[in-house]
Chains A and B, each alone.
Chain A
Amino acid sequence: MTQEIIFWALSTIAFICAIYTVLAKNPIFSAISLLLCFAAIAGHYLLLNAQFLFIVHIIVYAGAIMVLFLTTLMLMNLNDETEKHKPAIAQMAAIGVSVVMGVLLILAVRKVGLITPVKAPTPEVGMIGSLGRVLLDEYFYPFEFVSILLLSAMVGVVLLIKKDKKTEYK
């Protein structure tokens, strides 16, 4: 019973914050409500007993990605006065397309026949021990490639941001 209440509460928070992310006029409010939505999703991870991912999600999204977003927003000094909206017909079309897509997705997942789990339940799944064993055993090479990806992204960002007098145009 308690789990049900927590599940529906977290889902409701996630939905409301996600919709406010889309509809807020000020991009800063969008970012803050996206942060709350991520917090609700982190709660879902805890509910699903994915404790390692819960911590990683909070560190990566709340700690790194949202700080990047907010810093960029403040750097560009965007607020609701500079914010423009699409014409009403484009907004209506966007809402119509997404509603149709959502209804289709939900109808599709209602029809789906799912395989019942074959493995015996273990409390180990999602704990850092078992995750670390799988990560460094079965997925060792992808793990190393991810580190190369992050390194190259870092170098790329530094190169992109660097001011270049020759390519800058007015």
Chain B
Amino acid sequence: MTLLNIFENPHITINHYLAVSAVLFTIGVLGVLYRRNAITIFMCVELMLNSVNLLLVAFSTYHHDTSGQVFVFFTMAVAAAEVAVGLAILVTIFRNIHTVDIDELKNLKN
């Protein structure tokens, strides 16, 4: 079954998706600046990646071009690899100094 293309609806334009993505990206930036827990900061980075993915899919549908969605597919693979390696680093840090608070991780000394 093929759903209708949302851009055939005159009330929703690509600018709506631009705005939604911009707001989600800003919330992600807020989280990175606001929190001290490194894992929550990771989650906010994921949120930023997702807002950009959403915009790529919106433009891909808008231009009737599949390449944008292939890019999103690659971004998801890179995000999965990034999360796996990042969380492994955090677990190693936690094992050694028993915290993932970024304000206590700011010096490279022991």
Name A residues whose Cβ lies closer than 8 Å to a Cβ of B. Answer: 3-4, 7, 11, 14-15, 18-19, 21-22, 27, 30-31, 34, 37-38, 41, 44-53, 56-57, 60-61, 64-65, 68-69, 72-73, 75-76, 78, 83-86, 91, 93-95, 97-99, 101-102, 105-106, 109-110, 112, 114, 117-127, 130-131, 134-135, 138-139, 142-143, 146, 149-150, 153-154, 156-157, 160-161, 163, 168-169
Residue of A37, A72, A97 ringed by the most chain B CB atoms within 10 A: A72
Q: Which residues of B contact A27 (CB under 8 A)?
A: 37, 39-40
7 shortest interchain CB distances as A-B pairs: A94-B33, A102-B26, A153-B81, A98-B30, A105-B22, A22-B31, A109-B18
A to B CB contacts below 8 Å, 6 in the list? A65-B79, A75-B91, A94-B34, A102-B23, A118-B63, A149-B77
Residue numbers in B under 8 Å from A91 (CB-CB): 34
Asked if B27 and A156 make an inter-chain contact with CB atoms under 8 angstroms apart, the answer reads: no
Q: Are A78 and B37 in contact, with the CB atoms below 8 A?
A: yes
Nearest CB on A from B72, distance (A): 6
Residue positions of B touching A, CB distance < 8 A: 2-6, 8-9, 11-12, 14-16, 18-20, 22-31, 33-37, 39-40, 42-44, 46-47, 50, 53-54, 57-58, 60-67, 69-70, 72-74, 76-85, 87-92, 94-96, 100-101, 103, 110
User: CA of A51 to CA of B72 in the docked complex: distance in angstroms?
Assistant: 13
A22–B30 touching, CB < 8 Å: yes
CB distance from B97 to the nearest CB of A (A): 9
Say whether A21 contacts B30, CB under 8 Å.
no
Residues of the B chain whose Cβ atoms lie less than 8 Å from the Cβ of A41: 50, 53-54
Contacts of A169 in B (CB 8 A): 96, 110
Q: Is B96 a contact partner of A130 (Cβ separation < 8 A)? A: no
Residue pair B6, A7 in contact (C-beta under 8 Å): yes
Would A76 and B64 be within 8 Å (CB), given that A15-B24, A22-B44 are in contact? no
Give the residues in chain A near B9, CB-CB below 8 Å.
3-4
CB–CB B57/A30 < 8 A = no
Q: Which residues of A contact B95 (CB under 8 A)?
A: 163, 168
Q: Tell me whether B19 and A45 are in contact (CB under 8 A).
A: no
Contact B76 A57 (CB under 8 A): yes
Complex formed: what's the CA distance from A160 to B63 in Å? 43
Given A83-B37, A126-B60, CB of A22 within 8 Å of CB of B76: no
CB neighbours (8 Å) of A138 from chain B are 67, 70
In the complex, chain A residues whose CB is within 8 Å of the CB of B31: 21-22
**Contact assessment for B39 and A73 in the assembled complex, using a CB-CB cutoff below 8 Å:** yes
- Give the complex CA separation of A142 and B50 in angstroms: 20
